[in-house]
Each structure stands twice: as structure tokens, then as C-alpha cells.
Amino acid sequence: MASAYHELKKRFYFEIVAIGQQPTTDCALVFAEIHHLLRGHEINHLTMIDTFILEQYPELLETPLLRGLKERYAAAIKELKKYKKEDMMYVKILATKDDCAMLNGRVFSQATIVASAIAQFVNSTYKNYYQSSSESSIRTRSIITSYLINRTSLSALAAGENDMETMGPTEKELFLERTIAQVKEQWVNDEVDILKKGTLVIPTGEEI
């Protein structure tokens, strides 16, 4: 049944692409827009992780929250590169479930919570982004938000706001180290199981 559904979904996709590429008509424009809206189908979590963690807050990779993320993300990108560039953002439609298992959102569940918490903090367009209401998700978002508030305070201090003396490079580094240490301590002290090194940290009772 799953295989038949995937094949049907893929055929619909090819039809959408074909119609959207026809000579310009109102119908073709509609299907071209549908094709565009399908971009990133079921892999938007990878885009968020890249943008909000790897690019903007890579220091969080050193915390237990994201242990093993770099390896998992690298494996996902390696899998994506097996496809043509124009097909990469539609891979979850084109490939079978088994073929793109490394791209599954459940593999990146913890990292997605972190990335979405950052997104909502720095970009108001993510205000209504769906967030799990599980206890572990709420706890993780709280930890990340606290970190971002502290980091923002550092930026304000460095900019000389509130007539406070600007920190030098050493002071900034020490501040970040202390803040990262607080993130680690909060997570560990919250009685969350830390899985063996090389894996993402998944709270007890949750699967990846």
C-alpha cells in the first residue's frame, strides 16, 4: 500500500511539472505555482537546521542538545547529493521512504525543536510555526530561549548600549563559554537521559 501511494504521488508530481512547463496559459501558471509550493516538501527541517543552527548559532553544536547533529546532517546532505540539483528539494516526493530515510524529520526531531525555537526568536514570520507541546519540547525551547536572551544581552553590551563598557574579545569568549555551560547544565540537571556519544540527545520515551 505504501509503495502504491508513493508511486501515485510521484506520478501526480510529474504531471504537475509537465503542465506547469507548457506554453504560458492560466492553467500552466497555476500548476507552475503548485510545483513551487511543493519545494522542500517534508525536508524544511533541514533548511531550518542549516540556517538557524549551522550558520547562525554553530556554538550550540557543542552542547548535549545537539550531540551528533553534524554527522547526521552530513549524512543527509550526502544523500541529497545523489539527486540532480533541480530535484533535491522534491526528493521526498521522488524517492521511496527507504531511499530517503536519512532525511526523515524524526531523525532530526531534537535539532528541529532547537532550530524552530531560534527561528521564532529571531524572525517574527515563524511566530505560528508548529511546535510540539510535549514536556521535552517545551523544556528544550525554554533552554534555547534563555541562551538567546543572554547572547543578545552580550551583543547589546558589546555595542555599548545602556552606557555599559564594551567587552573585549576575551571577555566575550568567556561569557559565551559560561552561557554554553549553563545550557549543558540545565539539560543534564533536568534528568534527561544522555545517549551514547555520537547520537542526538533524545529524551526518554521518544524515538528518532
pLDDT tens-digit profile of 25-84?
Answer: 777 787 778 877 788 788 999 999 999 999 999 989 988 889 899 999 999 999 999 988
198: in domain: no
Count Cβ atoms below 10 Å from residue 181 Cβ, excluding itself.
Answer: 11
Q: Give the pLDDT confidence score for residue 114 in this predicted structure.
A: 95
Share of the chain above pLDDT 90, in %: 25
Does residue 31 share a domain with residue 54?
A: no
In sign, the C-alpha dihedral spanning 63, 67, 69, 75 is positive
82 and 184 in a single domain? The answer is yes
Identify residue 11 by its one-letter amino acid code. Answer: R
Chain mean position to CA 53: 7
Query: How deeply is 77 buried, as exposed, middle or buried, from its count of CB atoms within 10 A (0-12, 13-18, 19+)?
Result: middle
CA–CA dist 78, 71 (Å, integer) = 11
Domain span at residue 27? 1-38
Check whether residue 34 and residue 136 sit in a common domain: no
| CA 18 to chain centroid | 31
In a domain? residue 164 = yes
| Whether 107 and 171 share a structural domain | yes
Q: Does residue 162 fall inside a structural domain?
A: yes
Confidence of residue 191 (pLDDT cuts 50, 70, 90): very low
- Whether residues 87 and 61 fall in one domain: yes
Statement: residue 12 has pLDDT above 70? no
**Is there a single domain that holds both residue 31 and residue 46?**
no
One domain for residues 74 and 27: no
71 within domain boundaries: yes
Percent of the chain with pLDDT over 70: 67
Same domain, 116 and 162: yes
State how many domains the chain has.
2
Residue 199's pLDDT is what?
Answer: 36
Q: d(Cα 185, Cα 151) in Å, to the nearest integer?
A: 17
Q: Are 27 and 57 members of one domain?
A: no
180 vs 186: CA distance, rounded Å? 10
- 109-125 pLDDT tens trace: 999 999 999 999 999 88
CA–CA dist 175, 28 (Å, integer): 55
Rounded (5°) CA angle 169-171-173? 70
- Confirm whether 93 is domain-assigned: yes
Residues 60/121, Cβ–Cβ less than 8 Å: no
User: Do 15 and 48 fall into the same domain?
Assistant: no
- 67 within domain boundaries: yes
The whole-angstrom distance between residue 173's C-alpha and the CA centroid of its chain comes to: 26
Give the pLDDT score at 45: 92
Lowest mean pLDDT among 38-42, 145-149, 155-159: 155-159
Regarding whether 82 and 24 lie in a shared domain, the answer is: no
Question: Based on the domain organization, do 26 and 74 belong to the same domain?
Answer: no
Q: Indicate whether 196 belongs to any domain.
A: no
Residue 204 lies inside a defined structural domain of this protein: no
